[in-house]
Structure 1
Amino acid sequence: MKVIVGLGNPGPQYAETRHNIGFLLIDLLAEAYNLQFRTKFQGLWTEGNVEGERLILLKPQTFMNLSGRSVSELTNFYKVLGGDLLIVHDDMDLPLGKIRLRDQGGAGGHNGIRSILAEYGSEKFWRLKLGVGRPPREWDPARYVLSPFAEDELTQLDDLLERAEKVTNLWIKGESGRAMNLYHR
């Protein structure tokens, strides 16, 4: 079993924001695999068979800073090990369009990851970091990640999500090394 969790905030006011890029990818995957969401584990989740693996997708509905509650509820229920857990989240330290796949690490200032680390009890789980870029100097970083993508960034966003979908497909098949070689650019 593989579990992919996309981080974001619930509610229409956050739907198209940088902080919700994890939700955007999970929605794309659910659509590609023709999966329908249900409510459980303090989130929206769905499951199906993909690439010969049972796959669970989760969008925590606890708000970003409490994402760990939803993630730990699901991982405890299914006894998911870190090697089978992929957390997808925004990363301001990466320019818009960049992707990084890592198998462990700290929070790096990301409150959603900080919450997961506290609740899950280990830093040994996969992360797919999707670059959203740094805010202009005059912007507060919190305001920046809660802002929508600019019109001129939407093509880059679409390309980023398309490549991230390919990374997740390789990760599901156990080809994480290949994914890193092909998509870290």
Structure 2
Amino acid sequence: MKKFLIAGLGNIGAEYVNTRHNIGFKVLDRLVQQEGLSWETAKLGAVTEYKIKGRTLILLKPNTYMNLSGKAVKYWLDKENIPKENLLVVTDDLNIPFGALRLKAKGSDGGHNGLKSIQQLLNTSEYPRFRFGISDEFKKGKQVDYVLGEWSEDENNKLPERLDKSVEAIKSFALAGIADTMSNFNGK
């Protein structure tokens, strides 16, 4: 059975639940809700297993806070003996319009502290990532407030459909691979 690690990045704590920076958690929560699964508290995060057509997806929400996400990702990759190409990191991206999806087989951290931590601990930038656009609608010097701010009413109204599309992309990654998933979901 082929195994995958799907790591949704975010920050633990009630004050972060509905923030833009926690979209990785929100996407995985949507998948868990749709499939009737539940989270278990485990080492370095909340974890659950989702099986689909001969594949096992280990879903992970690190509890290490964003800046130390690499610690949890590396631990679960090693523990489950999952190759880096079967890792998918779900995160927010300021450089993409709200709700747009962008999957890549590898790339830079783009200044994202969660990706920076993962790259540092895995000692490579060659792992798949899934960026969910949160746009850059903030005033100069207000980036942190924006990223850690809650969704606008308009964003909240559009979020359910975007979360469903994100869940489809995750399933596609496990079933069809990164290349097909990129061509079917990027920019959509």
TM-score, structure 2 normalization: 0.93
CA distance in 2, matches of 1:138, 1:119: 31
Q: How many residues align?
A: 185
Deviation at 1:37, TM superposition (A): 1.1
Give, in whole Å, the separation in 1 of the partners of 2:88 and 2:114.
13
Q: Which residue of 2 aligns with 1:165?
A: 167
- Deviation, 1:34, is 2.0
Do structure 1's residue 121 and structure 2's residue 156 form an aligned pair?
Answer: no
Query: In structure 1, what is the Cα distance between the partners aligned to 2:70 and 2:182?
Result: 26
* CA apart distance, 1:155: 2.5
Structure-2 separation of matches of 1:170 and 1:152:
28
Partner of 1:54: 56
- Alpha-carbon distance in structure 2 between the residues aligned to 1:127 and 1:52: 22
User: Are the aligned partners of 2:91 and 2:130 in contact in 1 as well (CA < 8 Å)?
Assistant: yes
Pairwise CA distance, 1:157: 1.9
Are 2:77 and 2:84, in contact at CA under 8 Å, matched by a contact in 1? no
**Kept after mapping to 1: 8 A contact 2:47/2:58:** yes
* CA distance in structure 1 between the partners assigned to 2:144 and 2:77 by the alignment: 28
Among candidates 141, 144, 152, match of residue 143 of structure 2:
141
- TM-score normalised over the length of structure 1: 0.95
Distance 1:122 1:138, change over 3 A: closer
The answer for unaligned runs of 5 or more in structure 1 is none
Q: Secondary structure at the match of 1:137?
A: coil
Cα displacement string for residues 109-162 of structure 1 (whole angstroms, at most 9, x for unaligned residues): 000000011112221211000000003224521111100000111122222211
Deviation, structure 1 residue 35: 1.8
Confirm or deny: 8 A CA contact 1:33 1:50 kept in the other structure: no
In 2, Cα distance between the equivalents of 1:175 and 1:76? 21
Q: Could you say which residue in structure 2 is the equivalent of 1:112? A: 114
* Residues 105, 178 of structure 2: 8 Å contact kept: no
CA contact (8 A) 2:106 2:129 kept: yes
Q: Which shows bigger deviation, 145-154 or 170-179? A: 170-179
CA distance, structure 2, for counterparts of residue 157 and residue 4 of structure 1: 20
CA drift at 1:71: 0.8
In the alignment, is the contact (CA less than 8 A) between 2:90 and 2:129 conserved in 1? yes
Q: Determine what percentage of the aligned residue pairs are the same residue.
A: 34
Q: What is the rounded CA distance, in whole Å, between the counterparts of 2:125 and 2:181 in structure 1?
A: 21
Q: Which moved more, 1:88-97 or 1:29-38?
A: 29-38
